[in-house]
Chains A and B, each alone.
Chain A
């Protein structure tokens, strides 16, 4: 049963998937304003024990605000929360946890320098009779939780040394030891490889089997369709649809989220006419570094002008490392890189930029954005507009350049002088892309270009990448989102543990064949 439009908005009991008496958490007409702007307007939903409820919506729809209200970070301006039918008021994140609501945020709140066990018991380290920390007990309980999650993570490992997927499992482990009855997962699969996603799915299933409720927030609708029992779609702070997931198709969900039809067209493979070889990599090796960082061991490939080459691999396979070597961000161990036939050995990103190489790095917040600077400064940071005498800036020329991209990228921003932080993730990513496109690169490397980006912006970014290829830019696309790699790439290179394990033509590739190459040793694939 599905309710949409004003029905969805007003009606909580009849339209919902679960009768209210089973619900662990009831949200009633929740409203939140920031500085006089209403970001959540009378949102109601109910989450049943042992069920997965999907919260859907584009970035900026109000999902994060709702999550923050449910996890006690913000207080609502109106409406009510009820746990087991009893009205509650969450006074803070600790209070929410005590009442059984744990949240796994998109950016983990872990302590990088602590061990796994300390992280799981942070703030409530058990003590023995002498009042000393009971390290042995902690290690034992951590090991037990990790086993329950099917994760092979030693309690004594430092969190900073874990992969993102492992860190996420630690957060889930923490929620379990808190005896949480509702776990809110904000984009839990955004940074995971397909195999890790599979493991998370089975973890979620075993959690629900034990009666834990999950609020699953994701842009990946296939996963939502597979995992969720019921759903709520938010748009512009109001509920636009709710119901049982079984009654909705992915197309329905997309339509409700964006309010318009979206056609994810496949790349027209026949239309692409690759030109001269722009990038050639021969037997590339990274410098041996710590055991922690992935290495690149003898990789060879080429990218032609007007071609989109996908680089698919699990996180940690060496995808990002290849990009960083080509861009001069990390020192090259051995091997040859040629750009337009010329030997190229960048000493730093400056050399690569001068040679017409651009890199949109994977971690927008850590590697791309200047949080304290306005949009215009973020755009102009690579100096795409040549300065005047004595390095003086030509702000008018920069504004003009930005204006062009603003229209082309369908950038939604109040003004170029607004802080970059006021933009949604998708629009921030558009600014980052504009920054690099203004340099007119011959080789564009994009690493996870649509991570944490809403569907509308994702479509815009995909369209743009296709246009760039049509204009003759050579594009190397790195992404954990296999449908994205398949939809965009002319050719796909699979990488595993620093070695290329195969190449597929975009039109022949499918998720299964790609996954085999990414996960199996070369001989077995």
Chain B
């Protein structure tokens, strides 16, 4: 009896790869289709003025979405970022103003601070708030959903206390440049967004830290047994998202020339939608910054196009919700099919 040598134990799976590729490109294809549709319905959608407008609109929640990508990669979630944007915006405003007239002053003379102190204060407060939530998630193993849901209310409450319910408005020109300024035809927040994207993309794909984020999301127990510091990494991703929210809070206050406790309302919805639509799995371990950028643009295009078409804001909400559920369903469907 002659027997053939055993063939490879790995089966080639070319068609499966094609499906995987299609799944990866699906958000981009959907984005382009959506843009084509809006252009067809309202040609001025494609004007460079409007496109930059979209970019400016998405840049702030896009920055936070980049941070959220890290959190979701580790199987986490952060619902507090909208409230944190409001809180950090107010912090930036208070620092820029040197206090709140008639209520308190930060220094004896009541002098205002430069924009960079305001920005730094917002970012630090955001980072610390995020890290605190991370400690509850990682060390005390409270579900992220609960911690950040509570955080959302706490931060909103703090923002209301600081602002006493009212807005703080009117900043100097240097402060306002970050939200409203332009470099050539490009709005400044768009440039900030790009810088954040490039840094985060690099960290996630080219550093050991980024690899540990993926590993922990893919299998936390295996990550621990590989000697990765799971707790520290988990805390860091929430801190990172907090930093991004702080930066976002500063930019938003700058752009609106005003900070108030109701700012950033429901940002968490757009941010989580952007990340998930961009292909980052809520089950952790797969996803990318590039996907999040596409998801962010998709939401921006959708919101902008609906406004141009005079669709009611109520319907906009409905559509965003439907798209989130649709994107996750698609993701699960593809995973099943790949098997």
Using a CB–CB cutoff of 8 Å, the interface residues on chain A facing chain B are 4-5, 34-37, 39, 58-60, 235-236, 240, 258-260, 327, 329, 348-350, 352-354, 359, 361, 366-373, 377, 380-383, 387, 390-393, 412-414, 418, 422-424, 426-427, 435, 456
Contacts and interface: CB of A to CB of B under 8 A. Distances in A.
Interface string B253-294: 000000000000000000000000000010011100000000
A427 to B, nearest CB: 6
B15 interface: yes
A350 B227 contact: yes
25 contacts: A4-B1, A5-B1, A35-B13, A236-B7, A260-B3, A260-B5, A348-B227, A354-B227, A366-B219, A366-B222, A367-B225, A368-B225, A369-B219, A370-B222, A370-B285, A372-B217, A377-B214, A381-B215, A381-B222, A383-B227, A391-B209, A392-B208, A422-B11, A426-B9, A427-B9
B16 to A, nearest CB: 5
Given A350-B227, A422-B11, A236 B208 contact: no
A329 B7 CA distance: 39
A370 B223 CA distance: 8
B214 A423 contact: no
B224 interface: yes
Given A240-B3, A373-B285, A391-B207, A367 B222 contact: yes
Nearest to B2: A5
Given A35-B15, A37-B11, A350-B227, A368 B285 contact: no
Given A387-B208, A391-B207, A372 B286 contact: yes
B11 A361 contact: no
A414 B215 contact: no
B226 interface: yes
A383 B208 contact: yes
A37 B227 contact: no
A436 B124 CA distance: 39
Contact of A382 (B6, B16, B226, B284): B226
Given A352-B227, A359-B225, A367-B225, A414 B208 contact: no
A423 B9 contact: yes
A397 B214 CA distance: 20
B229 interface: yes
B218 A370 contact: yes
B225 A377 contact: no
Interface of B: 1, 3-16, 206-209, 211, 214-215, 217-219, 221-229, 281, 284-286
Given A349-B226, A372-B217, 20 more contacts: A37-B12, A58-B6, A349-B227, A361-B225, A366-B219, A370-B218, A372-B281, A373-B215, A381-B211, A381-B215, A381-B222, A381-B226, A382-B226, A387-B207, A390-B207, A392-B206, A418-B10, A424-B9, A424-B10, A456-B6
B16 A35 contact: yes
A66 to B, nearest CB: 15
A39 B9 contact: no
B224 A349 contact: yes
Contacts of A372: 214, 217-218, 281, 284-286
B214 A329 contact: no
A498 to B, nearest CB: 22
A259 B3 contact: yes
Contacts of A34: 11, 13
Contact of A370 (B10, B15, B219, B281): B219
B4 to A, nearest CB: 7
Contacts of B3: 5, 235, 240, 259-260
Contacts of B284: 372
A59 B10 CA distance: 11
Contact of A235 (B6, B8, B14): B6
A352 B1 CA distance: 51
B16 A370 contact: no
Contacts of A435: 226
B219 A414 contact: no
A371 B206 contact: no
A414 B6 contact: no
Contacts of A354: 227
Contacts of A366: 219, 221-222
Given A259-B3, A259-B6, A412-B10, A353 B227 contact: yes
B207 A382 contact: no
B18 to A, nearest CB: 9
B6 A393 contact: no
A258 B6 contact: yes
B67 to A, nearest CB: 19
A306 to B, nearest CB: 25
Closest 6 CB pairs between A and B? A372-B285, A370-B218, A60-B9, A350-B227, A353-B227, A259-B3
Contact of B10 (A258, A260, A353, A413): A413
A450 to B, nearest CB: 16
A388 to B, nearest CB: 9
Contacts of A422: 10-11, 13
Residue of B7, B222, B223 with highest tally of chain A CB at under 10 A: B222
